[in-house]
């Protein structure tokens, strides 16, 4: 059966309750011409068995299984390779999307062929409550908007499958392990593709507050600087991009608890 949208969900040991909530939020969409591809990235036995049960919920759900942990980029690429839809929608396994997400994004892309992918604003959810903070992003990001930070919420994206294929999907390079989305969107812009942010909240992004309070490895800051440097060159943003290449290295020196307090205050 031909489908308009292929929803790709990479899974690695997320909580069963959150996974089921995420899957059901897709099954309950107002737009129903989709397939849901679950990509089990070597989860433990309990989660793996649970995913096999979920496949039986709906004939549109399929399952891809990695024998070893290959991380998000390679795992999503396997889902993209198996996808049949004109559009690819990303869905994280611990998030939730509102019932009109797929319909709203599909209608936008069909009506606006000048854009190659679309994202939306998002709420933050801590597992019990929706937090006061929200992702509110510029509607039409330009390449310069990548300098400070990622101008899109990756998990909300719906993108033309042909664009992903021409970009060779997500980079599985080690330096992109924590920045595969940032890298992908910059490469798409370097290829001449453009995205749009719908000014509607269509998504709940799960945040583990305690994990966010913990200090991230400084190596990830170095990796991000490398990703920025390479892509800023492709986007023609050098040498003015130099201070922004250095930015993650400087931020990594600030005590993480202080950064978190500033985020909470903002």
Q: What is the dihedral of CA 70, 125, 204, 261, to 10 degrees?
A: -80
> How confident is the model at residue 128, as a pLDDT?
83
Strand 117-125 versus strand 5-11 pairing type: unpaired
On whether the CB atoms of residues 147 and 232 are closer than 8 A, the answer is yes
- 265: confidence class by pLDDT, cuts 50, 70, 90: low
- Tens of pLDDT, residue by residue over 153-210, are 999 999 999 999 999 999 999 999 999 999 999 999 999 999 999 999 999 999 876 6
pTM above threshold 0.85 = yes
Question: Which two structure tokens, joined as six digits, stand for 75?
Answer: 């795992």
Domains of the chain: 5-208 (3.90.550.10)
């Amino acid at each position: 059966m031909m489908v308009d949208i292929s929803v790709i969900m990479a899974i690695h040991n997320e909580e069963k309750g959150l996974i089921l909530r995420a899957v059901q939020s897709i099954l309950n969409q107002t737009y129903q011409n989709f397939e849901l591809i679950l990509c089990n990235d070597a989860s433990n036995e309990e989660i793996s068995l649970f995913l096999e049960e979920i496949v039986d919920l709906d004939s549109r759900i399929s399952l891809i299984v990695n024998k070893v942990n290959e991380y998000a980029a390679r795992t999503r690429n396997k889902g993209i390779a198996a996808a049949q839809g004109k559009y690819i929608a990303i869905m994280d396994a611990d998030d939730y999307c509102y019932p009109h997400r797929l319909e709203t994004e599909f209608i936008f892309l069909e009506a606006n062929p000048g854009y190659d992918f679309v994202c939306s604003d998002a709420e933050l959810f801590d597992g019990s409550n929706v937090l006061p903070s929200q992702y509110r992003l510029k509607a039409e990001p330009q390449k310069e908007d990548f300098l400070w930070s990622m101008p899109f919420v990756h998990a909300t994206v719906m993108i033309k499958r042909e664009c992903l294929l021409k970009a060779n999907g997500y980079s599985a390079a080690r330096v992109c392990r924590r920045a595969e989305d940032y890298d992908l969107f910059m490469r798409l812009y370097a290829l001449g593709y453009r995205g749009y942010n719908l000014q509607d909240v269509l998504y709940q992004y799960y945040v583990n507050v305690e994990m966010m309070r913990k200090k991230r490895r400084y190596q990830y800051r170095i990796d991000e600087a490398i990703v920025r440097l390479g892509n800023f060159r492709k986007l023609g943003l050098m040498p003015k991009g130099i201070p922004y290449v250095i930015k993650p290295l400087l931020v990594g020196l600030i005590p993480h608890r202080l950064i978190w307090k500033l985020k909470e205050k903002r």
